[in-house]
């Protein structure tokens, strides 16, 4: 099996706090990853600044529409040859082409306890449903939106006076830990997708790994 630092490409659209978490962890040796390509579909994405400061090649995609966006993403990824592609706040739907080409090597961070609340507006939907807990999931990307096999999750309680904003603010730091810990599994080449299943060290995962209070996956 291929070893060495995990060649990682990250796709963003916004603040890029999750991208920054990965850059920092790789920078100080907590993550054996080489974050070598950042793609954004928004020119104004503040997250691009994290890539610039870390001297990571960055590229804008999708400025001429969705169809060319898929082609641009595919060709940028093919040029870089990543071991892992991370969608970290990438707010545009990928077409079947890049998804098929990187199936099993592409993960997405989603702010809900999938399969609950695929799509947008997850905090408001969780509050409207009266959920007692909310959370985030990291899953393999498959053609159906937010429906690929879930690798790991983090849960937080919903408080009586929570608003979508307060929930998002409390979940944010835990999402960072979740993403870092999940990417670490990939750096150790422990995770693979097998049809609808996730395998860890060759064994089928019965249910998603859960992030504990110390930031470890169990
Ligand atoms: C995160 O909440 C993630 O769950 C969602 O988009 C947000 C990205 O935040 N998919 P950032 O751009 O990494 O700060």
Give residue 118's pLDDT band: very low, low, confident or very high (50, 70, 90): very high
Q: How large is the average pLDDT for residues 116-140?
A: 98
Q: Note the residue count of the chain.
A: 218
Q: How far apart are CA 178 and CA 211, in angstroms?
A: 6
Give residue 1's pLDDT band: very low, low, confident or very high (50, 70, 90): low
What is the pLDDT, as a whole number, of residue 205? Answer: 98
Q: Are 210 and 155 in contact (CB under 8 A)?
A: yes
Question: How many angstroms separate the alpha carbon of residue 166 from the centre of ligand 1?
Answer: 15
- Given the structure tokens 């695929």, which residue do they identify? 118
CA nearest neighbour of 141 among 175, 184, 98: 98
What is the pLDDT, as a whole number, of residue 140? Answer: 98
Q: Where are the beta strands (DSSP E) in 15-129?
A: 33-40, 58-60, 84-87, 106-110
H or E element, residue 39: strand 33-40
Q: Are 35 and 54 in contact (CB under 8 A)?
A: yes
* Site to substitute for ligand 1 among 14, 18, 23, most atoms within 8 A of C-beta: 18
Quick check: CB of 36 below 6 Å from ligand 1? no
Q: How large is the average pLDDT for residues 160-170?
A: 98
Quick check: CB of 15 below 6 Å from ligand 1? yes
Quick check: CB of 16 below 6 Å from ligand 1? yes
Nearest alpha carbon, ligand 1 atom 5: 89
Nearest alpha carbon, ligand 1 atom 10: 89
pLDDT tens-place string over residues 32-83: 999 999 999 999 999 999 999 999 999 999 999 888 999 999 999 999 999 9
Give residue 2's pLDDT band: very low, low, confident or very high (50, 70, 90): low
What is the pLDDT, as a whole number, of residue 114? Answer: 98
Quick check: CB of 149 below 6 Å from ligand 1? no
Contacts by 40-46, CB closer than 8 A, 24 or more apart: 40/11, 40/12, 40/13, 41/11, 41/13, 41/69, 41/90, 41/91, 41/92, 42/13, 42/14, 45/12, 45/13, 45/14, 45/15, 45/16, 46/14, 46/15, 46/16
Does residue 110 carry a catalytic annotation?
A: yes
Question: How many angstroms separate the alpha carbon of residue 1 from the centre of ligand 1?
Answer: 31
Quick check: CB of 17 below 6 Å from ligand 1? yes
Q: How far apart are CA 22 and CA 95, in angstroms?
A: 25
Answer yes or no: pTM beyond 0.95.
yes
pLDDT tens-place string over residues 135-153: 999 999 999 999 999 999 9
| Non-local CB neighbours of 213 within 8 Å, separated by 6+ positions | none
């Amino acid at each position: 099996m291929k070893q060495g630092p995990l060649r990682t490409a990250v796709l963003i659209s916004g603040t890029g706090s999750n991208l920054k978490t990965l850059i920092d962890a790789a920078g100080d040796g907590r993550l054996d990853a080489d974050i070598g390509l950042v793609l954004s579909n928004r020119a104004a994405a503040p997250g691009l600044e994290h890539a610039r400061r870390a001297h990571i090649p960055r590229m804008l995609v999708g400025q001429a529409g969705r169809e060319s966006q898929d082609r641009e993403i595919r060709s940028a990824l093919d040029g870089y040859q990543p071991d892992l592609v991370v969608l970290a706040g990438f707010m545009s739907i990928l077409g079947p082409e890049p998804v098929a080409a990187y199936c099993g090597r592409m993960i997405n961070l989603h702010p809900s306890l999938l399969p609950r609340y695929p799509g947008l507006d997850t905090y408001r939907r969780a509050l409207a449903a009266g959920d007692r807990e909310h959370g985030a999931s990291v899953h393999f990307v498959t053609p159906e939106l937010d429906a690929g096999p879930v690798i790991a999750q983090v849960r937080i309680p919903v408080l009586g006076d929570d608003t979508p904003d307060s929930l998002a603010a409390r979940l944010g730091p835990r999402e960072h830990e979740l993403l870092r810990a999940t990417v670490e599994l990939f750096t150790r080449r422990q995770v693979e997708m097998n049809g609808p299943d996730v395998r860890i060290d060759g064994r089928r995962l019965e249910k998603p790994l859960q992030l504990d209070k110390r930031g470890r996956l169990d």
